[in-house]
Chain A
Amino acid sequence: MTDSATIKYIVNERARIHDKTEKGVGYMKKNTEKWTALLMTAVMAAGLTGCGNAGAETQDAKQPVAEQAQTAQSDTGQEQQDAAAETESGGAAGGKVSVVLATNWGEGDAKYDYFYPLFEKFQEEHKDTLDITLQTYSTEDYKTKIKTQTASGDLPDVFTYWGGGMMKDMVDAGLLLNVDDYFAASSEVSKEDFEDGAFEYYVSGDGNAYGIPLESTRGIFIANKALFEQYDLEYPKTYEELVKVSEVFRANDIIPLAIGSNGGTPSEFFFSELYNQYEGAADEIKALAAGGSFHTENAVRVAEVIVDMIDQGMLPADTMANGGWTGSLQLYTDQKAAMTYTYPWNFEFIPDEMQENSEIIPIPQLPGATVDSASMISGFTVYGLVINKQSFEDAAKHDAVLALCDFLASDELTQELTKSGMIPCKKVEVNTDEQKLIMQKTIEYAKDKKLVQVHYTTMPSADAITMMDSSLDELFIKAITPEEFTQKVQAVLDKNNE
């Protein structure tokens, strides 16, 4: 045999042995596969059966209480009707009524430390009658969760939420309770306990309010006193002065304004604050709720100012990393930025020494602006409590929901939450000495100012708000022009008006 023939022979022999072995293994494999397949089929069938049962249970559980009660009454009378009412949707188990409370006041939120101890106390006091499931999520996840639950018809019984365009879909679908019904039933809380005008944010097109306002707010522009003193600078009163001050800070590796844009925060509220400086702007913001336009001359002008701020290096270059409420504030509290724009729900995250070192100043007057920025401050109801109408009208849950709402709107909880920096919509006695220093400064600064609104509260729909937020993010990285920014938001409003 030649060398190559020898090699071919060896290769063929190896291949033959390999095939033989494969066949032997193949027989065993076939048997194993057969049994594995049978086992898997059985498991799958059992699984599907299990799913079927669960589905049936869910279906029963979701049957409206009235329907169940009717069935029960037609069978054996009142006794069974009561029993049916007790075992309704997530309802009574062993004499307890199950209710779901959802909020974004979870761990990490400024209000958590003040809310949770009182919530635990409430739970303890009602442990024999109420079984409360508390669901908490971070703000953006929470918005998505509630929207998804709205679509799936699985809203919590009671939950904190935004008003205006954010609650529109739920109101249109008749899912939320007209809060007049709650006040009529409550012996603890009345509508008159709240500040005048506080309900406006929760008033729908039909003139009824669908939320209990809990939190009002004020937007503040703060400056680091020490940094201004260090570089011998005056607080800027005009845009030109802001440009000059910014040059000095930039030359010293300090970011002039810690305002980024990630998910539209804090850029959206800052945009509105600037917007309010222009002639007729406050009316334009108000008019949005009633079908007004977003694509206005003022909007384009403000967007152009923001682009100029970016070009002048006033804002953080990494707007995504330094955007968001905490991201922007962090630059300021770390003294890497000289000024920022923030709201009371972030006060919890401002260290004491920075609260001491911060001065609230008017936003510098923009070019062509006619409304004195020192005469106004953005202030509006921003958050509250909404009630699932079906749960409230559910005979078995009614009292539980009422008690929970009474707790959430109580003076005690409201007063406690003010310690986090919350400005209450409810008229309660607030011990100013217990307030954070920055809160005291805010109240002092705001007392002679005219309150103005922001786009967030008057936008007629949630998707318009989302578009404004995401388009501002694009504007901040200069992916779109000021004109394109306003057109994108307007396009959503136009689509909704069709």
Chain B
Amino acid sequence: MSSKRKETLLAAGFLMPVFIVYTVFLFVPLVNTAMYSLTKWNGVTEKVFIGIRNYQELFHNADYWITFQNTIKLVVITLVIQIPTGLLLAYLLYINTKGSKVFRTIFFLPVVIAPVAIALMFSLFYNSEIGVFNRILEMIGLGGLQTNWLSNTKTLLYAVMAPQVWQYIGLYVTIFLGALQAVPEELVESAEIDGAGKIRTFFYVVLPQIVNFTNICVILCVTGSLKAFEHSWIMTGGGPGVRSAYLGVYMYKTAFVNSDFGTGSAITMTIVALSLAITGLINGIGRWRERE
């Protein structure tokens, strides 16, 4: 057997399991979902082909747009809060090594706790009868800010987002800390010897070195938000109505609670389309930045 043929076979051998797994668990279900989205189907009786009617109804459905907006808000809020906070905390751990191991553990601890437990814990914190949030606010003289967090249309969505945003900051702290530790010390030392302060060193020396890690964090942040489910489902069931639901929760409610698998599949396809659009946007920005 020629060495080229051997190489090809070896490559095929390595690629085949991934190809099979992806085909069976991703591509085939995706194609099936696309087909179901064109049908009226309650999961039990025969599927009836209705073309794009599910999509038409969906785009005229106010609840769908509420969940769409909620999802976009979550993407933006996680990007704005999780990544900068993660980076800041990681940099603080990096420059001040005293007790950094303890803090690293503390920051990462929420990440390994089940989202269900975190969500349940927060729903108790928010409870107007037994919750601690309102009591803490009162104790620190901010009693005027007390509210019924999950029953107030102004605070509901953000109250549901908060535990998710908080829980995964530790993940970004860990990623950024690893990235910072990989930055050659010589560069930082050179900058310091050249008289650059901590802040300028961070922005002009360190940050450019970890830009690829930032891209990874952005992708993790966006994908995490697009598939957000547990916190919303456990805390409020996506409700009242769909006021605190994301697209994933709305899809689940439509397909599995209302047994409308046709519309549920259509929602799934819009999530896929949204994911692809955002991925395209991120990649576009990446390419533009490289050209710059």
Residues on A facing B (Cβ under 8 Å) = 7, 10-11, 14-15, 18, 37, 41, 44-45, 48, 140, 143-144, 147-148, 150-152, 169-170, 172-173, 175, 261-263, 316-322, 331, 336, 462-463, 466-467, 470-471, 473-474, 476-480, 495
* Contact status A321-B259, CB under 8 Å: no
* Contact status B186-A319, CB under 8 Å: no
Chain B residue nearest in CB terms to A12: B186
Neighbouring A residues of B21 by C-beta, 8 Å = 44
Neighbouring A residues of B184 by C-beta, 8 Å = 14-15, 18
Neighbouring A residues of B242 by C-beta, 8 Å = 470
**CB interface residues, B 4-55, toward A, < 8 Å:** 13-14, 17, 20-21, 42-45
Docked complex Cα distance between A15 and B183 (Å)? 12
* Contact status A477-B152, CB under 8 Å: yes
* Contact status B151-A319, CB under 8 Å: yes
One digit per residue, 1 when the CB lies within 8 angstroms of any chain A CB and 0 when it does not, for chain B 217-251 equals 00000000000000000001101111100000000
Chain B residue nearest in CB terms to A51: B24
**CB interface residues, B 135-168, toward A, < 8 Å:** 148, 150-153, 156
Neighbouring A residues of B95 by C-beta, 8 Å = none
Contact of B129 among A151, A318, A474 (CB under 8 A): A318
Docked complex Cα distance between A182 and B131 (Å)? 51
One digit per residue, 1 when the CB lies within 8 angstroms of any chain A CB and 0 when it does not, for chain B 177-199 equals 00000001011001001000000
Chain A residue nearest in CB terms to B240: A473
Secondary structure class of chain B's binding surface, majority of residues: loop
B127 beta carbon closer than 8 Å to chain A: yes
| Tally of contact residues, B, Cβ under 8 A | 41
Neighbouring A residues of B186 by C-beta, 8 Å = 10-11, 14-15
Chain A residue nearest in CB terms to B259: A147
Neighbouring B residues of A476 by C-beta, 8 Å = 151, 240
* Contact status A470-B240, CB under 8 Å: yes
* Contact status A45-B17, CB under 8 Å: yes
Contact of B128 among A18, A147, A318 (CB under 8 A): A318
B107 beta carbon closer than 8 Å to chain A: no
Instruction: Name 14 interchain pairs, CB-CB below 8 A, sorted by A.
Output: A11-B187, A11-B190, A15-B184, A44-B21, A169-B259, A172-B44, A172-B45, A318-B150, A320-B239, A321-B123, A463-B258, A476-B240, A477-B156, A479-B243
Neighbouring A residues of B43 by C-beta, 8 Å = 147, 150-152, 169
Docked complex Cα distance between A262 and B156 (Å)? 14
* Contact status B148-A473, CB under 8 Å: no
B261 beta carbon closer than 8 Å to chain A: yes
Residues on B facing A (Cβ under 8 Å) = 13-14, 17, 20-21, 42-45, 57, 123, 126-129, 131, 148, 150-153, 156, 184, 186-187, 190, 193, 236-237, 239-243, 253, 256-261
* Contact status A474-B241, CB under 8 Å: yes
Neighbouring B residues of A48 by C-beta, 8 Å = 17, 20
Neighbouring B residues of A148 by C-beta, 8 Å = 256
Neighbouring A residues of B193 by C-beta, 8 Å = 7
A460 CB to nearest B CB, Å: 13
Neighbouring B residues of A45 by C-beta, 8 Å = 17
Chain A residue nearest in CB terms to B57: A495
Contact of A322 among B14, B128, B257 (CB under 8 A): B128
Neighbouring B residues of A7 by C-beta, 8 Å = 190, 193
Docked complex Cα distance between A151 and B186 (Å)? 62
* Contact status A317-B256, CB under 8 Å: no
Chain A residue nearest in CB terms to B61: A491
* Contact status A170-B44, CB under 8 Å: yes
A74 CB to nearest B CB, Å: 31
Docked complex Cα distance between A480 and B242 (Å)? 12
* Contact status B240-A173, CB under 8 Å: no
* Contact status B153-A478, CB under 8 Å: yes
Chain A residue nearest in CB terms to B242: A470
